[in-house]
Amino acid sequence: MKNFTYYQPTSLSGVLKVLDEAAGKAEILAGGTDLLDRMKEYISQPEKVVSLVGFSGPFKEISSIAGHPPTVTIGAGVKLVNIAESELLRPYPALTSAAAQIAGPQIRNMGTLGGSLCQRNRCWYFRDEHVQCLLKGGRRCFAHDGENQYHAIFTQGHPCVIVHPSTLAPPLMVLGATCDIRSHKAQRQIPIEQLFQAPVKDGQREHTLAPNELLVSVTIAPKIPPGATLRNASYEVKQKETSDWPIVQASVAYYTEAGGQVAKGVRIALGHVAPTPLLSPAAAKVLEGQEVNEKTASAAAEAAVEGARPLSQNAYKVQQLKVAVRRAILLASGAKPYWEG
Protein backbone atom coordinates (compact mmCIF):
# COMPACT_ATOMS: atom_id res chain seq x y z
CA MET A 1 0.00 0.00 0.00
CA LYS A 2 1.30 3.46 -0.88
CA ASN A 3 2.06 5.76 2.08
CA PHE A 4 -0.62 8.33 2.83
CA THR A 5 -1.36 10.98 5.42
CA TYR A 6 -4.28 10.19 7.74
CA TYR A 7 -6.52 13.04 8.88
CA GLN A 8 -9.17 12.81 11.57
CA PRO A 9 -10.91 16.21 11.70
CA THR A 10 -13.22 16.87 14.63
CA SER A 11 -15.86 18.75 12.61
CA LEU A 12 -17.54 18.69 9.20
CA SER A 13 -15.88 22.00 8.30
CA GLY A 14 -12.54 20.47 9.29
CA VAL A 15 -13.17 17.67 6.76
CA LEU A 16 -14.01 20.16 4.02
CA LYS A 17 -10.79 22.12 4.65
CA VAL A 18 -8.62 19.05 4.14
CA LEU A 19 -10.25 17.83 0.90
CA ASP A 20 -8.22 18.48 -2.22
CA GLU A 21 -9.35 20.08 -5.47
CA ALA A 22 -7.25 17.65 -7.55
CA ALA A 23 -8.92 14.32 -8.43
CA GLY A 24 -7.65 11.19 -6.67
CA LYS A 25 -5.43 12.96 -4.11
CA ALA A 26 -7.79 12.73 -1.13
CA GLU A 27 -10.29 10.00 -0.24
CA ILE A 28 -12.96 10.21 2.41
CA LEU A 29 -12.93 7.29 4.83
CA ALA A 30 -16.47 6.62 6.09
CA GLY A 31 -16.98 2.94 7.03
CA GLY A 32 -14.03 1.97 4.83
CA THR A 33 -15.76 -1.16 3.47
CA ASP A 34 -15.09 -0.11 -0.13
CA LEU A 35 -12.15 2.29 0.17
CA LEU A 36 -9.86 0.04 2.20
CA ASP A 37 -10.36 -2.84 -0.26
CA ARG A 38 -9.46 -0.55 -3.14
CA MET A 39 -6.36 0.74 -1.38
CA LYS A 40 -5.17 -2.77 -0.51
CA GLU A 41 -5.76 -3.82 -4.12
CA TYR A 42 -3.80 -0.79 -5.50
CA ILE A 43 -6.89 0.51 -7.30
CA SER A 44 -6.96 3.74 -5.28
CA GLN A 45 -3.77 5.30 -3.98
CA PRO A 46 -4.70 8.57 -2.29
CA GLU A 47 -2.14 10.86 -0.69
CA LYS A 48 -4.64 11.89 2.00
CA VAL A 49 -7.23 9.74 3.79
CA VAL A 50 -9.79 11.89 5.58
CA SER A 51 -11.69 10.00 8.26
CA LEU A 52 -15.24 10.94 9.25
CA VAL A 53 -15.02 9.19 12.60
CA GLY A 54 -13.98 12.25 14.66
CA PHE A 55 -17.33 14.02 15.00
CA SER A 56 -21.04 13.39 15.52
CA GLY A 57 -24.21 15.41 14.83
CA PRO A 58 -26.74 15.57 11.96
CA PHE A 59 -24.21 14.04 9.53
CA LYS A 60 -24.72 10.74 11.36
CA GLU A 61 -28.42 11.09 12.19
CA ILE A 62 -31.85 10.60 10.62
CA SER A 63 -34.37 13.38 11.25
CA SER A 64 -37.99 13.79 10.26
CA ILE A 65 -40.49 16.62 9.81
CA ALA A 66 -44.11 15.53 10.21
CA GLY A 67 -46.14 15.59 7.02
CA HIS A 68 -48.04 13.35 4.69
CA PRO A 69 -45.74 11.63 3.94
CA PRO A 70 -43.00 12.92 6.29
CA THR A 71 -39.91 14.73 5.07
CA VAL A 72 -36.93 12.65 6.18
CA THR A 73 -33.29 13.75 6.06
CA ILE A 74 -30.62 11.07 6.30
CA GLY A 75 -27.09 12.21 7.10
CA ALA A 76 -24.52 10.75 4.72
CA GLY A 77 -22.70 9.24 7.70
CA VAL A 78 -25.71 7.17 8.81
CA LYS A 79 -24.94 3.44 8.89
CA LEU A 80 -26.80 1.13 6.52
CA VAL A 81 -28.22 -0.88 9.44
CA ASN A 82 -29.79 2.27 10.86
CA ILE A 83 -31.47 3.02 7.53
CA ALA A 84 -32.78 -0.55 7.37
CA GLU A 85 -34.21 -0.38 10.90
CA SER A 86 -35.33 3.26 11.12
CA GLU A 87 -38.85 3.92 12.39
CA LEU A 88 -38.74 7.35 10.72
CA LEU A 89 -38.19 5.68 7.34
CA ARG A 90 -41.07 3.24 7.73
CA PRO A 91 -43.18 5.02 5.03
CA TYR A 92 -40.34 4.26 2.58
CA PRO A 93 -40.00 0.46 2.35
CA ALA A 94 -38.41 0.79 -1.12
CA LEU A 95 -35.39 2.21 0.70
CA THR A 96 -35.41 0.31 3.99
CA SER A 97 -35.79 -3.08 2.31
CA ALA A 98 -32.91 -2.26 -0.06
CA ALA A 99 -30.69 -1.26 2.88
CA ALA A 100 -31.66 -4.42 4.78
CA GLN A 101 -30.52 -6.58 1.86
CA ILE A 102 -27.05 -5.07 1.43
CA ALA A 103 -24.23 -7.57 1.98
CA GLY A 104 -24.42 -8.97 5.53
CA PRO A 105 -24.58 -7.61 9.10
CA GLN A 106 -20.86 -6.72 9.23
CA ILE A 107 -20.99 -4.49 6.15
CA ARG A 108 -24.34 -2.97 7.16
CA ASN A 109 -22.89 -2.06 10.57
CA MET A 110 -19.85 -0.33 9.04
CA GLY A 111 -21.05 0.97 5.66
CA THR A 112 -22.78 4.34 5.37
CA LEU A 113 -25.28 6.04 3.08
CA GLY A 114 -22.54 8.29 1.61
CA GLY A 115 -20.28 5.31 1.06
CA SER A 116 -23.01 3.31 -0.66
CA LEU A 117 -23.85 6.15 -3.05
CA CYS A 118 -20.18 7.02 -3.72
CA GLN A 119 -18.68 3.50 -3.79
CA ARG A 120 -16.79 2.52 -6.93
CA ASN A 121 -18.02 -0.07 -9.43
CA ARG A 122 -17.38 -3.81 -9.09
CA CYS A 123 -16.23 -4.57 -12.65
CA TRP A 124 -13.57 -7.27 -12.33
CA TYR A 125 -11.38 -5.61 -14.96
CA PHE A 126 -11.49 -2.30 -13.06
CA ARG A 127 -10.82 -4.10 -9.77
CA ASP A 128 -7.77 -5.96 -11.13
CA GLU A 129 -4.62 -3.93 -10.48
CA HIS A 130 -2.93 -5.45 -13.55
CA VAL A 131 -5.65 -4.39 -16.01
CA GLN A 132 -5.44 -0.88 -17.42
CA CYS A 133 -9.02 -0.32 -18.45
CA LEU A 134 -10.61 2.94 -19.66
CA LEU A 135 -11.18 4.11 -16.07
CA LYS A 136 -7.50 3.63 -15.23
CA GLY A 137 -5.94 5.47 -18.16
CA GLY A 138 -6.18 2.59 -20.68
CA ARG A 139 -7.62 2.69 -24.18
CA ARG A 140 -10.37 0.08 -24.01
CA CYS A 141 -13.12 -1.40 -21.94
CA PHE A 142 -12.24 -5.09 -21.64
CA ALA A 143 -15.77 -6.07 -20.62
CA HIS A 144 -17.16 -5.08 -24.04
CA ASP A 145 -15.65 -8.20 -25.64
CA GLY A 146 -14.73 -10.10 -22.50
CA GLU A 147 -16.40 -11.59 -19.44
CA ASN A 148 -19.48 -9.40 -19.25
CA GLN A 149 -22.22 -11.52 -17.67
CA TYR A 150 -22.81 -9.04 -14.83
CA HIS A 151 -22.32 -5.85 -16.81
CA ALA A 152 -24.69 -3.31 -18.36
CA ILE A 153 -27.52 -4.19 -20.72
CA PHE A 154 -28.25 -0.54 -21.53
CA THR A 155 -24.99 -0.11 -23.38
CA GLN A 156 -25.66 2.32 -26.20
CA GLY A 157 -23.37 5.33 -26.05
CA HIS A 158 -21.34 3.83 -23.20
CA PRO A 159 -17.66 3.16 -23.90
CA CYS A 160 -17.42 1.66 -20.38
CA VAL A 161 -20.12 -0.90 -19.52
CA ILE A 162 -19.96 -1.09 -15.71
CA VAL A 163 -23.15 -1.18 -13.69
CA HIS A 164 -23.65 1.29 -10.88
CA PRO A 165 -23.28 -0.68 -7.63
CA SER A 166 -25.51 1.20 -5.18
CA THR A 167 -28.84 -0.43 -4.39
CA LEU A 168 -29.88 2.64 -2.36
CA ALA A 169 -29.77 4.81 -5.47
CA PRO A 170 -32.86 3.46 -7.32
CA PRO A 171 -35.21 3.73 -4.29
CA LEU A 172 -33.97 7.23 -3.50
CA MET A 173 -34.53 8.19 -7.14
CA VAL A 174 -38.15 7.02 -7.20
CA LEU A 175 -38.78 8.79 -3.90
CA GLY A 176 -37.59 12.05 -5.49
CA ALA A 177 -34.71 12.53 -3.03
CA THR A 178 -32.41 15.55 -3.10
CA CYS A 179 -28.75 15.71 -2.07
CA ASP A 180 -27.10 18.36 0.08
CA ILE A 181 -23.50 18.79 -1.08
CA ARG A 182 -20.82 20.99 0.47
CA SER A 183 -17.28 22.10 -0.20
CA HIS A 184 -15.07 24.43 1.82
CA LYS A 185 -16.50 27.38 -0.12
CA ALA A 186 -19.98 26.45 -1.32
CA GLN A 187 -23.15 24.46 -0.77
CA ARG A 188 -25.59 23.12 -3.37
CA GLN A 189 -28.68 20.89 -3.62
CA ILE A 190 -29.34 18.55 -6.54
CA PRO A 191 -31.93 15.89 -7.36
CA ILE A 192 -30.30 12.56 -6.61
CA GLU A 193 -30.35 11.44 -10.25
CA GLN A 194 -27.84 14.23 -10.93
CA LEU A 195 -25.43 12.69 -8.43
CA PHE A 196 -24.58 9.92 -10.88
CA GLN A 197 -22.68 9.84 -14.15
CA ALA A 198 -21.24 7.21 -16.46
CA PRO A 199 -17.45 7.50 -16.12
CA VAL A 200 -15.42 7.09 -19.31
CA LYS A 201 -11.84 7.92 -18.32
CA ASP A 202 -9.26 8.02 -15.57
CA GLY A 203 -10.09 10.59 -12.91
CA GLN A 204 -13.83 10.35 -13.46
CA ARG A 205 -15.97 8.76 -10.77
CA GLU A 206 -19.44 7.19 -10.86
CA HIS A 207 -20.67 10.36 -9.15
CA THR A 208 -20.58 14.03 -10.09
CA LEU A 209 -19.08 15.39 -6.85
CA ALA A 210 -16.01 17.55 -7.33
CA PRO A 211 -12.94 16.13 -5.55
CA ASN A 212 -13.29 18.71 -2.77
CA GLU A 213 -17.04 18.15 -2.25
CA LEU A 214 -18.72 16.04 0.42
CA LEU A 215 -22.20 14.53 0.26
CA VAL A 216 -23.69 15.76 3.54
CA SER A 217 -27.23 14.39 3.51
CA VAL A 218 -30.11 13.11 1.41
CA THR A 219 -33.68 14.33 1.91
CA ILE A 220 -36.84 12.47 0.94
CA ALA A 221 -39.95 14.63 0.57
CA PRO A 222 -42.36 13.09 -1.96
CA LYS A 223 -45.24 15.35 -2.92
CA ILE A 224 -48.65 13.70 -3.03
CA PRO A 225 -52.16 15.19 -2.79
CA PRO A 226 -53.87 15.37 0.63
CA GLY A 227 -55.54 12.08 1.48
CA ALA A 228 -53.57 10.11 -1.12
CA THR A 229 -51.45 7.08 -0.18
CA LEU A 230 -47.81 6.75 -1.21
CA ARG A 231 -46.89 3.25 -2.33
CA ASN A 232 -43.32 2.16 -2.90
CA ALA A 233 -41.18 -0.96 -3.08
CA SER A 234 -37.95 -2.42 -4.43
CA TYR A 235 -37.21 -5.88 -5.75
CA GLU A 236 -33.81 -7.48 -6.39
CA VAL A 237 -33.03 -10.56 -8.46
CA LYS A 238 -30.05 -12.20 -6.78
CA GLN A 239 -27.77 -15.13 -7.33
CA LYS A 240 -27.07 -15.47 -3.60
CA GLU A 241 -29.29 -14.79 -0.61
CA THR A 242 -26.58 -12.71 1.11
CA SER A 243 -23.22 -10.97 0.78
CA ASP A 244 -23.44 -10.02 -2.86
CA TRP A 245 -24.80 -7.28 -5.07
CA PRO A 246 -27.99 -8.16 -6.99
CA ILE A 247 -27.99 -9.04 -10.67
CA VAL A 248 -30.79 -6.55 -11.36
CA GLN A 249 -32.98 -4.33 -9.19
CA ALA A 250 -36.11 -2.26 -9.68
CA SER A 251 -37.69 0.38 -7.45
CA VAL A 252 -41.17 1.81 -7.86
CA ALA A 253 -43.13 4.65 -6.24
CA TYR A 254 -46.59 6.00 -7.00
CA TYR A 255 -49.64 7.24 -5.13
CA THR A 256 -53.30 6.28 -5.13
CA GLU A 257 -56.16 8.64 -4.29
CA ALA A 258 -58.40 7.84 -1.33
CA GLY A 259 -60.43 4.72 -2.07
CA GLY A 260 -58.87 4.29 -5.53
CA GLN A 261 -56.44 1.80 -7.02
CA VAL A 262 -55.22 3.90 -9.95
CA ALA A 263 -51.46 4.60 -9.95
CA LYS A 264 -50.49 8.26 -10.25
CA GLY A 265 -47.16 10.11 -10.17
CA VAL A 266 -45.43 6.84 -11.12
CA ARG A 267 -41.63 6.66 -10.93
CA ILE A 268 -39.70 3.52 -11.79
CA ALA A 269 -35.91 3.16 -11.48
CA LEU A 270 -33.67 0.34 -12.64
CA GLY A 271 -30.48 -0.80 -10.93
CA HIS A 272 -27.48 -2.87 -12.03
CA VAL A 273 -28.35 -2.60 -15.72
CA ALA A 274 -26.45 0.55 -16.78
CA PRO A 275 -23.41 2.61 -15.74
CA THR A 276 -25.80 4.82 -13.76
CA PRO A 277 -28.99 3.95 -11.90
CA LEU A 278 -31.67 4.57 -14.49
CA LEU A 279 -35.10 6.19 -14.29
CA SER A 280 -37.46 4.56 -16.79
CA PRO A 281 -39.97 7.15 -18.03
CA ALA A 282 -41.24 4.59 -20.57
CA ALA A 283 -42.23 2.09 -17.88
CA ALA A 284 -43.70 4.82 -15.66
CA LYS A 285 -45.83 6.11 -18.55
CA VAL A 286 -47.34 2.68 -19.16
CA LEU A 287 -48.43 2.35 -15.52
CA GLU A 288 -49.54 5.96 -15.06
CA GLY A 289 -53.33 6.21 -14.71
CA GLN A 290 -53.80 2.43 -14.66
CA GLU A 291 -55.11 0.16 -11.96
CA VAL A 292 -52.21 -1.93 -10.72
CA ASN A 293 -52.56 -5.64 -11.41
CA GLU A 294 -50.45 -8.38 -12.98
CA LYS A 295 -51.41 -7.29 -16.49
CA THR A 296 -50.48 -3.62 -16.11
CA ALA A 297 -47.36 -4.50 -14.10
CA SER A 298 -46.25 -6.83 -16.91
CA ALA A 299 -46.89 -4.14 -19.53
CA ALA A 300 -44.74 -1.67 -17.58
CA ALA A 301 -42.03 -4.33 -17.23
CA GLU A 302 -42.00 -4.83 -21.03
CA ALA A 303 -41.60 -1.07 -21.49
CA ALA A 304 -38.74 -0.96 -18.97
CA VAL A 305 -36.50 -3.11 -21.18
CA GLU A 306 -37.08 -1.04 -24.32
CA GLY A 307 -33.71 0.11 -25.64
CA ALA A 308 -31.73 -2.62 -23.85
CA ARG A 309 -28.68 -3.70 -25.88
CA PRO A 310 -27.18 -6.59 -23.92
CA LEU A 311 -23.57 -7.72 -24.32
CA SER A 312 -22.40 -11.16 -25.50
CA GLN A 313 -23.02 -12.92 -22.14
CA ASN A 314 -25.77 -11.03 -20.35
CA ALA A 315 -28.96 -11.17 -22.44
CA TYR A 316 -30.46 -13.18 -19.54
CA LYS A 317 -30.58 -9.94 -17.54
CA VAL A 318 -33.31 -8.56 -19.84
CA GLN A 319 -35.80 -11.18 -18.63
CA GLN A 320 -34.64 -10.75 -15.03
CA LEU A 321 -35.18 -7.01 -15.26
CA LYS A 322 -38.75 -7.57 -16.43
CA VAL A 323 -39.32 -9.83 -13.43
CA ALA A 324 -37.83 -7.26 -11.04
CA VAL A 325 -39.99 -4.42 -12.39
CA ARG A 326 -43.19 -6.49 -12.35
CA ARG A 327 -42.58 -7.73 -8.81
CA ALA A 328 -41.59 -4.29 -7.46
CA ILE A 329 -44.85 -2.84 -8.84
CA LEU A 330 -46.93 -5.64 -7.34
CA LEU A 331 -45.14 -5.36 -3.99
CA ALA A 332 -45.82 -1.61 -3.92
CA SER A 333 -49.51 -2.29 -4.52
CA GLY A 334 -49.61 -4.54 -1.45
CA ALA A 335 -50.32 -7.66 -3.51
CA LYS A 336 -49.37 -10.96 -1.90
CA PRO A 337 -46.00 -12.02 -3.42
CA TYR A 338 -47.13 -15.03 -5.53
CA TRP A 339 -43.46 -15.98 -6.08
CA GLU A 340 -43.01 -16.80 -2.38
CA GLY A 341 -45.41 -19.71 -2.73
Ligand X SMILES: Cc1cc2nc3c(=O)[nH]c(=O)nc-3n(C[C@H](O)[C@H](O)[C@H](O)COP(=O)(O)OP(=O)(O)OC[C@H]3O[C@@H](n4cnc5c(N)ncnc54)[C@H](O)[C@@H]3O)c2cc1C
Interacting residue ranges for ligand X, rule: CB under 6 A: 27-35, 76, 80, 102-103, 107, 110-112, 114-116, 118-119, 165-168, 209, 214-215, 243-246
SS3 124: coil
Q: Are strands 48-51 and 5-7 parallel, antiparallel or unpaired?
A: parallel
Question: CB-wise, 27 or 150, nearer to ligand X?
Answer: 27
For residue 340, what are the contacts with CB-CB under 8 A and spacing of at least 6?
none
In the complex, what is the shortest distance from the CB of residue 154 to ligand X, in angstroms, rounded to a whole number? 19
174, 43, 221: which is closest to 119 by C-alpha? 43
Between residues 236 and 268, which has the closer beta carbon with respect to ligand X?
Answer: 236
Closest distance of CB 242 from ligand X, Å: 8
Output the smallest distance, CB 3 to ligand X, in A.
Answer: 18
| Alpha-carbon 338 to chain mean position | 27
**Residue nearest to ligand X as judged by C-beta position:** 115
Task: Report the residue number, 110 or 299, with the smaller CB distance to ligand X.
Answer: 110
Give me the least distance between CB of 50 and ligand X, in Å please.
8
**What is the rounded distance in angstroms from the CA atom of residue 59 to the CA atom of residue 30?**
11
Angle, helices 294-304/316-333, rounded to nearest 10 degrees: 140
Closer of 158 and 164 to ligand X (Cβ):
164
Closest approach of Cβ 16 to ligand X, in Å?
11
- 140 contacts 238 by C-beta, under 8 angstroms: no
DSSP class per residue in 228-255: -EEEEEEEEE-SSSSSS--SEEEEEEEE
Sign of CA dihedral 181, 187, 192, 197: negative
Residue 181 φ/ψ, nearest 5 degrees: -125, 135
Virtual CA dihedral for 270, 276, 282, 287, nearest 10 degrees? 30
* Closest distance to ligand X from the beta carbon of 84 (Å): 12
The smaller minimum CB distance to ligand X, of residues 107 and 311, is found at 107
Is the Cβ of residue 4 or residue 262 nearer to ligand X in the bound state? 4
